[in-house]
Structure 1
């Protein structure tokens, strides 16, 4: 698109803003969310967990270091669209292979720049996330608002089947432990993290029968991140329940965390805004230390009903929501946030080591971290 080509963004509540087009020409819709990361925009764009969502970046300058293949978490963008305050069309980076604008155009990703993202973020924080439409081809306000209102709600929407692998494949064939991964939209860095720790990693489609997965004789099963409403995934919940019943060590991240909770009879609810960014503080209740985490979720596990099922061992310090569970009735644990980062800090990478220890039959040890000079509070 030319730098001056017009574009509009319309929300389902009637809000309409005008800006300039970036990336591909066309029209797109999805749930408008915001991400507070200051960098890592290409990892965000290619994270399958963002399928069905239009991503608004709170950091004002996006695209300033271009785009390159090594920064991707999947083979294509999965966000529905991109909203930014100021788009850099003259990036500088020795690793750059193309501009972000060229990457988005090549991948068919529609975006809009020149938007007062600060005002829109405040609007979303007050009203809650809602559907929107970005268009470079239809600039009629009433038409765009109607399209946003007609877009499917994320509440009750199953999306993992759209991003999972088509067939099982081996990500890593070398290692002393066999890890089976249920792919609901798994990020590459999760797979790399396990492979780095000496795991043979086989990735299975989301609909794979548990009997087929267990026939591979895994030492552990991982339930991955992914998009959509976990409550709309009864087959995945049943799969988690069957794996849990087998006694095999289990680990879940994000959507996988929610599926494990649902399999154990806990409740999951849709959040008003959700958590998306690479700077969210999480209190590790085992060590008393605060970890800065990468987050990307619009659903959360309800804390009521945990007795005898699981205990909360990680808690979000911004809103006190559940960020991690240690389960009582089987060898397994799960976290709502993303310890693999990409983008983001690596404070919680020890969780992969803990799960490898669990696969080896050892009780996970708390991470070796220095004693804090001050006791964290949950204020």
Structure 2
């Protein structure tokens, strides 16, 4: 089998022993005369937050290059007039393994997209989207001078590639890809700027603060990641009693879950379902003393705009996505690995001798056994001001 550091392009990557060392691992040869970089990352909110440090690394290594995110329509809306490492968003078509179509959106024509994208004359194209079965052919089709990215078993290779291994922190995974093209890490902490427009929209919706704010986000697309509404309600009661005003945020699809939290809380809370754009939600979280959430995009958004967080994680997702920093973040782990209904091992089948079965049809919560008292204790710990320094 070829080395993960094999490179068939004219800008060949040296074997591992010749790579420059860095804090996070080896760094490949920087590509010369780079004017335009394409980065494919067209999936969900949390996935995008994880790639921000890699984009920062590319900006530092190639300060004069234009960085073009190949993303979804919501990326274009979020990144409009927002400072950061992305200069422009090019919306990729909805296609299998690339991105799901939005409401009312038809699948796109990938061949037509690639024909137009090749006219951009990208110098570098990076795949930080997944294992590469569908995404590597798209990135290769951009016609860039050098391609780099991830490669799962059976996926076609790019010019410079790293083996995709499921259990790896997502931030580090994408930083390693950036390093393949000579862009060492400048940070491991995702950071997203909040704009004046974000703050103005949030203020118009939420009004002036009467008490310090805490936000709860009880939803998640994957229902197995959802902590029960009654547990969030217990947190709401405790923090309301401590003097905080509690927002309960959710998407329109999570209305029922938000309503269940509000009904069970027994104290006044402020549901916010579909009232805030993504930028305004970021601003609201930035003004919160704490955000308590399932492992889902808003949790990682809150951390990226500087809010302290308590996150409820299934243990496998904790490995891949929980912040490694403890100054402002407390991930709480649930250790359930077998379906509570049928007992099937639902850990990803990454080794032949331990197949697992992520396709169990039951979508009950795998985090329901996390005690509310543990989340409340973590929340109060983060909300308690540190003692004054002498």
TM bucket (normalised to shorter chain) is 0.3 to 0.5
- Greater helix share, 1 or 2? 2
TM-score with structure 1 length normalisation? 0.33
TM-score with structure 2 length normalisation? 0.33
- Greater strand share, 1 or 2? 1
